[in-house]
Structure 1
Amino acid sequence: MSNIFDVLKERGFIQQTTHEDEIRELLGKESVAFYIGFDPTADSLHVGHFLQVITMMHMQRAGHRPIVLVGGGTGMVGDPTGKTDMRKMMTPETVQYHCECFKKQLSKFLDFSEGKALMVNNADWLMNLEYIPFLREVGRHFSVNRMLTAECFKSRMEKGLSFLEFNYMIMQSYDFLELNRKYDCKLQLGGDDQWSNIINGADLIRRVDGKSAYGMTFTLLTTSEGKKMGKTEAGALWLDPEKTSPYDFYQYWRNVDDADVEKCLSLLTFLPMDEVRKLGALEGAEINKAKEILAYEVTKLVHGEEEATKAQEGARALFGKGPASTNVPTTEIPRSEFAEGMGLMSLLTKLQLTSSNGEARRLIQQGGISLDGEKVTDMKHSVKAEDFKDGIMMIKKGKKVYHQVKLV
């Protein structure tokens, strides 16, 4: 069996390591306990987290032991990384609810039976720390001058960095120390924006307990232009089907830029690399085959085979100008609401295709709305019950967003 380090490197995951040769040797000779942390800033994981989830799946399949750390403690402070302003403070009840949601989602991807993976909450040790003993044992090992050179802090110095957030790096480092002591966790993994936090954790273990510990970061999920992937007009691309429908999730991957197809296939699916390279090399109209495979494989991983098949059939029906599909997002509205006609702007806002009448007006004027294939540019257009064919109307927003309205 090939070393998982080589597999991750070939697929384009690995960005930085504390000790590349030692990590590779360690992963090749024993089952290693490793951890990735997830701060509960929302009630669902999003596609940015999914890259970390895929990494854990690769590692577990290779015989290593994932420790999922849910940040019930660090979530009370908030990671300043990548933020221009301080995060909104959450109540303990909100943080706990988000943690429970994360646990449920992550259990779909990892095998937690018989201790093959662990899920822990850093609130269990961080919330009960005594301040003075913590400063004496841990705080003395951190140089403020060195901490201020970290990118996560440097970018905040002009706008102001609160003392609360300044503690985040120390708390995350302490997590690694605690997991090392409790579970012999030797390796911390994370996105490349976590590099400063990760190297400080490995360094703390060496300083306090004199033991070897390692860190490894992964590429962030970005487009070929360097922009973060997973952002849609509606916001983040969530893993929760109630927040992002399987159809919309599928459509996102079906519509990625040609230049990003190979990278996404490599990072977000388990297809063999020779197949990934063949698909990535397709050009012109042929690349759409690769995009279909990408969309299907990622949706299958997140939502299951049945939902992936439904989403694929719905997309094919629309792209092939076939009949309206039941797999397209659908809203049922009483026929009576269209008796006197409903303004198109009001309808778009009601369906949450636009956030306001002003946005709806601009979209209509710019030719961005079609009803059953017919472009509508009159912002005063009224939709009546008789406009529906067999009680159904397909609304198209822009080039890629479809929504079906059904009269009841």
Structure 2
Amino acid sequence: MNEFNLIERLHNRGLISYITNEDNLSKLIQNNSISLYCGFDPTDESLHIGHLLPLITLKRFQMAGHRPIILIGGATSLIGDPSFKDKERIFNTNKNINIWTEKISKQISCFLDFNCGENSALLLNNNTWFNKINILSFLRDVGKYFSINTMINRAAVKQRITRPDQGISFTEFSYNLLQAYDFFILNKQYEVDLQIGGSDQWGNISSGMHLINRRSKKAAYGLTVPLLIQSNGVKFGKTESGTIWLDANKTSPYRFYQFWMNIEDSNVYYFLKLFTFIKTSEINKREQKKYIDNQIINDKSFLAKNITQLVHGKEKLLAVERITEFLFSKNITNIEEADFQQLKQDGIPFIEIDNIKDLQEALVLTSLAESRTQAKNMIISNSISINTKKIRKNHIFNNQDKLFGKFTLLSRGKKQHSLLCW
């Protein structure tokens, strides 16, 4: 069916961590249109950027003519996946899970095409089948195919068992069987041949392939994408100030964009291969020129713009570009009121005020200066700006300083900013 080896392309982009029966899967994909799936448990109201790689990989398969299926874990999220977790998750209520399911489903719909013919994406919820099964049937028809010895020796479980302070509950231990049953049902009812996920899902995916082979005597396949770890050992997408969410109300598009602008230089071209759809040959050419005229900064900006548009859309990207131009190029011409709301959300520090004596007091209140004396010296040294305009003497605020009647941007040098919200 396909004119290229998709698996080879995924390898070239660094998108494959583990894969089963690679030769057979490559032949299957090249000669047939297959169905594949990835599961997402709604354990919060938003996905985060750690979920991007599986979503983008699903999109790559769809672009190659295959049918992606998203499985929302409405049932499994009631338990929570223990894979490589230090302790048991906090149980969520059915009400929260239902709300989160709706929000996450809308997020995912932006990445895949649900109306493109035979390979249109499909969104399912595993509550559909788990609500109909009883515990005795499950233990008899599923549990008997699994060895406790094998399950205990899985890395994700062993990590918890060897910790006397935590251990693992039977509830969490059963999660592996639940996800295996998901794969079995999808293979049986929707002819799903392949499950993808993060590399921490390898044990769960393997269990699903095992169950399909034992019960249906069919071959099934698994593929995992890498989990990205930053140089400080923190999982990619988690920062000192919190997780980078895909929901614009939890992480503003501006902060989302700045996260990508601040990645380590060593990751720029690797991430271009992982998160964008430009050809690897083009990325390699860019990398060869990275030290010419500071090209790497332009490529980092290219990466940030691509991913911001993919997640938040063109309109939000344009807002981010206006804010960036306002803060760093001192161009106030195109700034909009909604852009300040982004900045207030989590773009830069801000304070709510009704009245203020003068600029020196404002600098102290915003922590741009430690004292009025220091504030005075900074003003005299020409390092303070109000709405991008340099201020050379102490200043009493007036209505002209209040953009849209609400906002005043204070800046110390080029990179330290604070927002006054009147």
The answer, yes or no, to whether TM exceeds 0.5 is yes
Could you say if the C-alpha distance between residues 163 and 254 of structure 1 is closer, same or farther in structure 2, counting changes exceeding 3 Å?
same
- 2:408 equivalent to 1:390: no
Match of 2:354 in 1: 336
Please say which of residues 307-316 and 88-97 is displaced more in the overlay: 307-316
Shift, 1:321, TM fit = 4.6
Query: Does the 8 A contact of 2:79 with 2:91 survive in 1?
Result: yes
TM-score where L is the length of structure 2 = 0.82
Please say which of residues 285-294 and 164-173 is displaced more in the overlay: 285-294
1:122-179 deviation per Cα after TM superposition (whole angstroms, max 9, x unaligned): 0111133211111111101111111111121112111110111000000000000000
1:328-366 deviation per Cα after TM superposition (whole angstroms, max 9, x unaligned): 534498763436999879966xxxxxxxxxxx89x969x
Query: Does the 8 A contact of 1:176 with 1:188 survive in 2?
Result: yes
1:9-40 deviation per Cα after TM superposition (whole angstroms, max 9, x unaligned): 11110011121111111111101100000000
Shift, 1:312, TM fit = 2.4
Match of 2:128 in 1: 124
Query: Does the 8 A contact of 1:330 with 1:403 survive in 2?
Result: no
Could you say if the C-alpha distance between residues 166 and 388 of structure 1 is closer, same or farther in structure 2, counting changes exceeding 3 Å?
farther
Shift, 1:52, TM fit = 1.0
Please say which of residues 88-97 and 334-343 is displaced more in the overlay: 334-343
Match of 1:308 in 2: 317
1: CA distance, partners of 2:36 / 2:136 = 29
Match of 1:6 in 2: 8
1: CA distance, partners of 2:136 / 2:38 = 28
Residue of structure 2 aligned with 1:287, choices 289, 296, 319 = 296
Match of 1:229 in 2: 236
Give percent identity, aligned residues only: 38
Query: Does the 8 A contact of 1:335 with 1:385 survive in 2?
Result: no
1: CA distance, partners of 2:196 / 2:155 = 18
Show structure 2 runs of 5+ residues with no match: 345-349, 386-393
1: CA distance, partners of 2:272 / 2:146 = 40
Q: Secondary structure of 2:192's match?
A: coil
Match of 2:184 in 1: 177
RMSD: 3.2
Q: Secondary structure of 1:190's match?
A: strand
Q: How many positions carry a matched residue from both structures? A: 385
Shift, 1:257, TM fit = 0.9
Could you say if the C-alpha distance between residues 66 and 166 of structure 1 is closer, same or farther in structure 2, counting changes exceeding 3 Å?
same
Q: Secondary structure of 2:419's match?
A: strand
2: CA distance, partners of 1:140 / 1:74 = 20
1: CA distance, partners of 2:198 / 2:250 = 24
Query: Does the 8 A contact of 1:44 with 1:240 survive in 2?
Result: yes
Please say which of residues 336-345 and 272-281 is displaced more in the overlay: 336-345
Match of 1:354 in 2: none
One-letter amino acid of the counterpart of residue 47, structure 2: L
Match of 1:356 in 2: none
Query: Does the 8 A contact of 2:49 with 2:246 survive in 1?
Result: yes
Q: Secondary structure of 1:81's match?
A: coil
1: CA distance, partners of 2:413 / 2:204 = 41
Query: Does the 8 A contact of 2:383 with 2:413 survive in 1?
Result: no
Could you say if the C-alpha distance between residues 336 and 400 of structure 1 is closer, same or farther in structure 2, counting changes exceeding 3 Å?
closer
1:277-319 deviation per Cα after TM superposition (whole angstroms, max 9, x unaligned): 2333402733111111011111111111222132123224423
Could you say if the C-alpha distance between residues 289 and 388 of structure 1 is closer, same or farther in structure 2, counting changes exceeding 3 Å?
farther
Shift, 1:236, TM fit = 1.0
Could you say if the C-alpha distance between residues 342 and 280 of structure 1 is closer, same or farther in structure 2, counting changes exceeding 3 Å?
same
Match of 1:213 in 2: 220
1: CA distance, partners of 2:73 / 2:234 = 26
Q: Map residues 102-121 of structure 1 onto 2, 5 A cutoff.
A: 102-113=104-115, 114=117, 116-121=120-125
Shift, 1:394, TM fit = 2.8
Please say which of residues 166-175 and 278-287 is displaced more in the overlay: 278-287
Q: Secondary structure of 1:85's match?
A: coil
One-letter amino acid of the counterpart of residue 274, structure 1: S
Q: Secondary structure of 1:338's match?
A: coil
Query: Does the 8 A contact of 1:189 with 1:218 survive in 2?
Result: yes
One-letter amino acid of the counterpart of residue 141, structure 2: E
Could you say if the C-alpha distance between residues 149 and 388 of structure 1 is closer, same or farther in structure 2, counting changes exceeding 3 Å?
farther
Query: Does the 8 A contact of 1:251 with 1:315 survive in 2?
Result: no
Match of 1:404 in 2: 419
Please say which of residues 268-277 and 218-227 is displaced more in the overlay: 218-227
Could you say if the C-alpha distance between residues 135 and 406 of structure 1 is closer, same or farther in structure 2, counting changes exceeding 3 Å?
same
Match of 2:266 in 1: 259
- 2:46 equivalent to 1:31: no
Please say which of residues 63-72 and 80-89 is displaced more in the overlay: 80-89
Shift, 1:249, TM fit = 0.9
Show structure 1 runs of 5+ residues with no match: 349-359, 376-382
2: CA distance, partners of 1:398 / 1:239 = 31
Shift, 1:233, TM fit = 4.0
1: CA distance, partners of 2:295 / 2:202 = 39
1: CA distance, partners of 2:182 / 2:413 = 46
